A and B are shown apart, each in its own frame.
Chain A
Amino acid sequence: DAKTTQPPSMDCAEGRAANLPCNHSTISGNEYVYWYRQIHSQGPQYIIHGLKNNETNEMASLIITEDRKSSTLILPHATLRDTAVYYCIVRSDMRFGAGTRLTVKP
């Protein structure tokens, strides 16, 4: 089984921030957290990753709690094209859970 748990689905209004949570309570100190997303019929696409510090890139921000047992992916201004399944994984585990299906609504 994957080391991560995520809510199965979320909705977000277009233009608003989408905050996607992930629990990884069994993560160990040197394991990275990675986020991917998958749009229908395509392979998963890399979004962002982090170890301890919060990270930001052109796609998203990643907030990791101080105890590293959970993280949140933030899409600051969601668009309709952000509708996808979002996966959080612990890199060394190589296993994906079912992810969160984010639906951005107009």
Chain B
Amino acid sequence: GAGVSQTPSNKVTEKGKYVELRCDPISGHTALYWYRQSLGQGPEFLIYFQGTGAADDSGLPNDRFFAVRPEGSVSTLKIQRTERGDSAVYLCASSPTGTGIHGYTFGSGTRLTVV
């Protein structure tokens, strides 16, 4: 597609449930990034994929959060046993490479609400 696509755009779930958030990057982009953003704050880095592998997962807040990118294109962010504090907008971005000469293109995000 022409841009980064994230689905669903909105997700409401009950505390304790499992959720999956999907990101379709721009075709051919090898680098993929997940961020989450709470109201009034900047995007918080979660994880960076280069191809199929997680090159940097230091931003994942705890072991309830996990992300995969099995074929080097689509990525899924998985959150187990959701908590109300997980409520945020989850943003995905992709880049042609992971190097500094290329910037990110962001999707519109998935707004997750845990009730």
Contacts and interface: CB of A to CB of B under 8 A. Distances in A.
B7 interface: no
B100 A32 contact: yes
A43 B108 contact: yes
A95 B106 CA distance: 14
A32 B106 CA distance: 18
B105 interface: yes
A57 interface: no
B43 A44 contact: yes
A82 B69 CA distance: 35
Contacts of B25: none
Interface string B40-77: 01111100100000001000000000000000000000
Contact of A31 (B41, B48, B100, B109): B100
A46 B105 contact: yes
Contacts, number: 49
A91 B48 CA distance: 13
B42 A87 contact: yes
Nearest to A91: B100
A98 B35 CA distance: 14
Given A42-B108, A96-B35, A49 B45 contact: no
12 contacts: A2-B42, A36-B106, A43-B107, A43-B109, A45-B106, A46-B104, A51-B100, A94-B45, A94-B48, A95-B45, A96-B42, A98-B41
Given A43-B108, A92-B100, 17 more contacts: A30-B100, A31-B100, A36-B103, A43-B93, A43-B109, A44-B43, A44-B91, A44-B104, A46-B104, A87-B43, A91-B103, A94-B33, A96-B35, A96-B42, A96-B43, A96-B45, A98-B41
